[in-house]
Structure 1
Amino acid sequence: MQFSESQVQSLAPNPAAFTAGKKLSSKEQWQSFGRSDRAIWGAIKGSGSSPYLVQIDTISLAYKCTCPSRQFPCKHSIALMLLHAASEKNFATQEEEPEWVKGWMDKRGTPPKPKTEEKVRTEEEQEQLDKNREKTQTNRLLGVQEGAAELTMWLKDLVRMGLLELPSKNQQEFDRMAARMVDAKAPGLAGWVRALGRLNYDQGQAWQDEALGIISKLFLLLSALKNFDRLSPLWQQTIRNLAGWSQSTKELLADKEAETIKDHWLVVGQEVETTSEDITIQRNWLMGCTHNRQSMILNFGTRFTNIESNILPGTIIEGEMAFFPSVWPQRGALKIQRAVTNSLPAEPMAFETWKDVHEYKAEQLQVNPWLNDIVVVLKDALLIKSSTSWIVCDSSKHFQQLPSDFDIEKTLRWVAISGNRRLNMVLILRNNVVMPMGVFNNNHYHLL
């Protein structure tokens, strides 16, 4: 596969690692480098007498370097990918890989043996384990419902006083209520409270609609928690997730009953944000080229641990996606990954006009009213600068306004890719905001 500089930058664990890797990416820095149909590799002078040996699995995107760095990918791996991106023709394809590359790649193709055998439990032990789990879940639900009841009273007080009083509220009041929800083991509810406190109350009257939307959805969620026992099992799972129950990727991948879809998954974009608790959240958005299903893969990191991800924006992953159970399954995890390429087998389905997009969004909100992020493809989209902002216009001359802080660099990339022609565009619909992620041109996907 062929890397681009922007893709390599998205893989870097931090900006400093990317900058350091870029300084080492000229071919003069490398003693040797090469490639095969499944890997690229190279040797670069290190601080000792022996060079560092760098190898990258280009099928399932993994890295190995003999340097002592604890970052993945390290600056040498980043440098090798940047070198390949800038001068692929200089990488001679070799039929025989060096032994140190071949041994690592062959080992990666063999499933690892379990370190320990799984303990075989008796029927009584398994029954007791199930009872303990059920008791833990019941106790947590009771705690969440107590917190939800407290938050309901707080919301009613806000409404009783009137939304126009919100701008005068002290930020500490929102922080205290959010902390109370965390104590009640409902971090999802805390997120809604923080969102209400973070609104831009200096932005004219726009905040009023946003505040009303947050309060309405939150009150609906609190009502669902109050009537939890009356919901279907799938709705109960959905409400748990919204309230902040964690979802185990390991358990999902081991679940033989989980929904699994085999497809070529186009990674249409990636977002990274750091929360107030210093947790880094990486959201990867994917679309199935055949089934037109969308998926979101979440990765997490902290100030002490970097995000280790093999999801490269703009590439196509051939594999099987497992979905967490929900009334509207979206979050998933790759169960089997067979290859990573830049070759697009087919474009996902595109909506003809904005009217079709909004009808689709309305249908999905009827299924899940808390649905926030929806990935769509708009056919023959055109990016236009209006008097006050950028807009995305469809073929029928209807348009949707982009956020005021839309990145000018993305606009320049749009012009460079499209020549100001209409192209099919991938967008994320988030509340009332539209965010362009990339475009299709000549059977290739280009990130903005």
Structure 2
Amino acid sequence: MIGAGFSGVMTALHLLRQPSPVKVVLVERRAPIGLGAAYATDDPAHRLNVRAGNMSAWPDRPDDFVDWLAGRGREVGSGGFATRGDYGRYLQGLLTALAEGPAAVGRLVITPDEITAITRAGQGWTLTCGMGRAFEADAVVLALGNPPPRPPEAIGADLAGSSAYVADPWRWDPAALPPGEGPILLLGTGLTMIDAALSLARTAPGRPLIALSRRGLTPREHQGAPPSPLPDPPSPSLTPVGALAWLRTATERHGWRTAIDALRPATQALWRGWSVRQRGAFLRHARAFWDVHRHRLSPQVAEQAARMRASGELRILAGNLRRADLLEDRTVDVAWRPRGTRETRRLRADLIVNCTGPSADVERSVEPLIASLAGQGLIRADPLRLGLDVGAGHRVLDVQGRAHPTLLAVGPITRGALWEINAVPDIRVQAAEAAAQILRALAPRRA
């Protein structure tokens, strides 16, 4: 199991819950184990974007997380939004409880290391660690989470290698912000930008923050508890045009929040039914609008972000970054073009933070493991470059389109096949399915 964020931990736990004698090696390069990037935060401003009642790690125990919170005096309730740090502690508790229980004795090995290469070895695989050690495995699950953002082409080479540029906000501590009073430019205006802005507001209060994206769209806010039950989802056979018509009708009847929540159970099936051309059209014309309505902010986070915008502490700009260069005084000269104009404007910033989101094109990845797999033809990008190409049972497809029975992928890296696979409610189902697929694939060898 490569990766010990939610995807990897839950796939491992599903394997260990079964009576099969399968041994699980969980490899994670980040510390501490079991958090992943999303939940490795103690900032109380970082909240989940999904209500606590839908964040149980187990599909068959829907109240597990809410009960965990209540048992620790955190009366969030099923309709509330817990902190991401608390969710990380919940996951670590699940892993610890199973690791120390009788079911995992001799069956779970947790390895704090990085896998840099995987090669075929007969019916199985040889994995090479960053420390140089190699070991064999019958099956491998890639649970790699979201890859870091790709540097925009407008970022000059001197800037990219300097302390005035943060390439990945998930691997950066805002407390290490260089001293100064100048503006900080955040590239992107989505959820990652909001998290970075809230952290900076805490560690550098009053520092001017400027966020820039092509459209200047920001995530909308959750409001009230959704109706129960939700309206019936649409038919999974709808075309993109049909799905849009359904969404408009449902919005008129129930409001856009309820309409999108009702669409969710059908989203993966709709995506799988669309052609590559139809998916590409959705990404070009609707993705930005879908993202800000689908992936919403908790009321607490939305309120703080609104206060920052009202006070001028956070400004949102719509436009394109044209060029950003490091100056002799270690500040950054930024040229940008407002949306809908040909005018180039300039601003000066002390720091640029790349909040543009994951760079999912695996064929251009600089991660050693992904580069190794791609170089051997063992993986390929999905047609729209959203992640790995996977087939039935979450099995990875090689460069010829053949499915590996014992090389699987779970989590956001499978977005190209499923689209809606970034949040716990979807990944927890996928993790259970992947574990079942592994056990089926290994059953003949253990008969």
Query: Structure 1 length normalisation: TM-score?
Result: 0.23
Normalized per residue, the structure richer in strand is 1
Q: Which has the higher contact order (CA 8 A, sep 6+)?
A: 2
Query: Structure 2 length normalisation: TM-score?
Result: 0.23
Q: Which is greater in Rg?
A: 1
